[in-house]
């Protein structure tokens, strides 16, 4: 990683941690909670009564901080993805981690219209534009709309790569739209009352939890000239994440009630006693979040619908936050159902069948991650069990790639911190499955183990790219070289390292081209500062090889791609003729020979050819589309997305679209 990029990541993390240090974690739910017998060893159990629900919640404010298990503020996932990119309609869709599990994003496309969320302008951390110069004055972006702005809708003509704004959806004051879904002539927006940032998925780190709400608005777009709002849904709490499976929107939120005179982290017995007095008359109605659907308000859940942490120790910390999983039928949001529990959630992974919520726990010096599984179906999410895993999960990159479900098993990669200065971190694969006799996730196997002690990565190497693909696991670790590991998971009771390749640089993001080819997006070590794309031949997993590399950006400058930490910035579309097309945005900053500072955003167009013969496959650079901001404004091009539709390419940079035909990217249109 180059120094400037590393510095920005550290500053961003420090700012987030400073904010997070003021908040806590917790959870709750709605609908009938699963029946958990008292003899169970499950980590969560049903609330026995309204009185127990209130007492547990109060106890979070009447214990001193010395009993807390989460002394360090956890970091949430920075983004993640599945490959449903091969669209039979001839156009690309949002890159996701799992097929058939849609993820919201700032740009959505339905084959006819582009739907664009306005950039939420940052209030700090801009690169000074005072001495900026840009490649082409003709490509200067128009003035960005001021908050709240509007959702822009542009019609497209893929024959000539043109786009034209046809309408907008104005946003209310204080309405921060984080992303969109499109489905069956419906546009679904997810808005919040707080802005959580735009680096990766930093907005998932919610602090403080109180006095927030999440807004879900569903629009009918069947007549684009007369868009109507069908549903307006508001849920009390901070936004964690969401996914869509068919007609069901799954929304994860966190809530804590607000009191003017409460010590949220009592540091002394005097403060704890003051909280007891403040909360003396508290009822469950004061604690439970509310949902409003088209101006009709009701409780999101009941106390008896919640799960709570099994607490057998009198001094074990109770969480003052309710984490809710709400299943919202898009056809009838009034029938939404919720499950909740009383622990925090640092990140999620969702398959087509289950939702896994995970949280960092700090009772162990090596780190520990707790995972809860909820089965998905026609009704509310159903608790299926939990497990504690050694090591940390949510520490860098697109970390939900570190989790993968196959059948009834969950595969997880964590990082354990050893305290050994010569080898600070060890990486571990853990495979879990549901127990047959309890609500529990049992360990099937781990790697390394006593029979296979070889480490996953060289000493002191951090873990970068991770990708589970059927019975294989690809891992990229890095300190000075870039080992690519291929693990064979076909026998889940005995996984093993099948092959290894050492090359310079590293890959943050891994994409499967097919069973024999793997694409990596990361950074070059030999040409420091350049974005590196590597095409790997993995047809022989015992002997993986690097076929070719392409370097992107300006040599000697500072270059990075949003696709390294946010999969939604990566676009991939397979063609009927066997050629695969892909686009990668790169932001470049450098000093020109004249001493001026130049900043530009480019979208690089590439093809993978000959993929049916992995030994002869190639990665070919076609060209790029450039979008540069005006030097007169504090322009922030944080959202870079693209769409491929037949031979047309649409590049969203900031709030505006640049476009071109694939065969002639230098002849471009924009900004629109």
Contact 669, 163 (CB under 8 A): yes
Model pLDDT, residue 181: 98
Task: Select from 548, 605, 620 the least CA-distant residue to 572.
Answer: 605
Q: Please give the structure tokens belonging to residue 178.
A: 């984080």
CA distance 500 to 407: 27
Model pLDDT, residue 72: 37
CA distance 162 to 657: 10
Contact 517, 498 (CB under 8 A): no
Angle (CA) 246-248-252 rounded to 5° is 130
* List of the chain residues with pLDDT < 50: 1-37, 66-88, 121-146, 197-207, 314, 397, 630-636
Residue 581 is classified by DSSP as: E
Model pLDDT, residue 145: 43
Model pLDDT, residue 208: 53
497 beta partners: 487
Model pLDDT, residue 81: 36
| Dihedral of alpha carbons 196, 199, 202, 207, sign | negative
For 11, 195, 259, 337, the CA distances from 291, given in Å and listed in that order, are 36, 21, 20, 11
Model pLDDT, residue 1: 34
Give the three-class secondary structure for 105. strand
CA distance 623 to 651: 13
Reported as half-sphere exposure (CB side, CA atoms, 13 A), residue 617 has a value of 27
Contact 522, 532 (CB under 8 A): yes
Q: What Rg value do the Cα atoms of the chain yield, rounded?
A: 25
């Amino acid at each position: 990683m180059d120094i400037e990029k590393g510095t920005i990541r550290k500053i961003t993390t420090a700012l987030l941690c400073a904010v997070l240090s003021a908040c806590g974690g917790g959870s709750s739910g709605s609908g009938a909670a699963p029946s958990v017998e008292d003899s169970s060893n499950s980590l969560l159990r049903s609330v026995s009564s309204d009185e127990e629900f209130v007492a547990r919640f109060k106890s979070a404010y009447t214990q001193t901080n010395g009993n807390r298990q989460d002394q360090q503020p956890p970091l949430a996932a920075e983004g993640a993805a599945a490959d449903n990119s091969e669209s039979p309609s001839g156009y690309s869709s949002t890159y996701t981690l799992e097929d058939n599990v849609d993820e919201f994003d700032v740009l959505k496309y339905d084959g006819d219209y582009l739907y664009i969320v306005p950039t939420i302008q940052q209030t700090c951390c801009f690169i000074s534009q005072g001495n900026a110069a840009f490649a082409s004055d003709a490509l200067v972006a128009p003035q960005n709309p001021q908050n709240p702005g509007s959702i822009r809708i542009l019609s497209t003509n893929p024959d000539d790569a043109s786009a034209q704004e046809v309408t907008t959806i104005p946003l209310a004051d204080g309405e921060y739209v984080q992303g969109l879904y499109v489905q069956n002539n419906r546009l679904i927006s997810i808005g919040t009352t707080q802005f959580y940032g735009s680096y990766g998925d930093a907005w998932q780190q919610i602090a403080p939890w109180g006095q927030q709400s999440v807004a879900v608005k569903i629009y009918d777009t069947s007549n684009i000239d007369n868009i109507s709002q069908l549903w307006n849904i508001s849920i009390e709490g901070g936004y964690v994440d969401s996914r869509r499976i068919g007609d069901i929107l799954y929304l994860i939120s966190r809530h804590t009630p607000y009191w003017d005179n409460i010590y949220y982290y009592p540091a002394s017995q005097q403060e704890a006693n003051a909280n007891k007095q403040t909360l003396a008359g508290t009822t469950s109605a004061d604690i439970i979040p509310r949902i409003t659907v088209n101006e009709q308000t009701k409780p999101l859940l009941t106390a008896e619908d919640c799960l709570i942490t099994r607490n057998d120790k009198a001094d074990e910390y109770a969480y003052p936050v309710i984490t809710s999983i709400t299943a919202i039928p898009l056809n009838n949001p009034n029938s939404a159902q919720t499950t909740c529990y009383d622990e925090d959630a640092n990140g999620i992974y969702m398959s087509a069948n289950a939702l896994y919520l995970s949280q960092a726990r700090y009772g162990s010096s090596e780190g520990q991650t707790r995972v809860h599984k909820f089965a998905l179906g026609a009704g509310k999410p159903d608790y299926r069990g939990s497990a504690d895993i050694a090591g940390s999960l949510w520490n860098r990159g697109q970390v939900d790639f570190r989790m993968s479900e196959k059948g009834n098993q969950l595969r997880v990669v964590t990082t354990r911190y050893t305290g050994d200065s010569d080898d600070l971190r060890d990486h571990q694969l853990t495979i879990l499955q549901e127990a047959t006799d309890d609500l529990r996730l049992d360990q099937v196997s781990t790697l390394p183990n006593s029979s296979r002690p070889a480490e996953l990565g060289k000493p002191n190497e951090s873990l970068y790219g991770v990708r589970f693909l059927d019975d294989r696991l690809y891992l990229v670790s890095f300190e000075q070289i870039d080992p690519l590991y291929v693990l064979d998971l076909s026998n889940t009771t005995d996984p093993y390292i099948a092959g290894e390749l050492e090359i310079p640089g590293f890959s943050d993001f891994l994409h499967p081209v097919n069973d024999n080819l793997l694409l990596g997006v990361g950074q070059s070590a030999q040409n420091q500062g350049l974005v590196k794309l590597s095409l790997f031949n993995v047809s022989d997993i015992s002997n993986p090889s690097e076929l070719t590399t392409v370097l992107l950006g300006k040599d000697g400058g500072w270059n990075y791609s949003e696709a390294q930490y946010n999969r939604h910035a990566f676009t991939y579309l397979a063609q009927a003729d066997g050629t695969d097309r892909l686009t990668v945005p790169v932001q470049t900053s450098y000093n020109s020979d004249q001493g001026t500072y130049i900043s530009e955003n480019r979208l690089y167009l590439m093809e993978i050819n000959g993929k049916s013969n992995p030994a002869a496959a190639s990665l070919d650079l076609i060209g790029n589309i450039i979008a540069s901001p005006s030097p007169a404004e504090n322009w922030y091009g944080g959202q870079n997305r693209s769409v491929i539709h037949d031979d047309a390419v649409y590049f969203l940079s900031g709030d505006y679209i640049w476009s071109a035909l694939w065969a002639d990217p230098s002849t471009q249109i924009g900004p629109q």
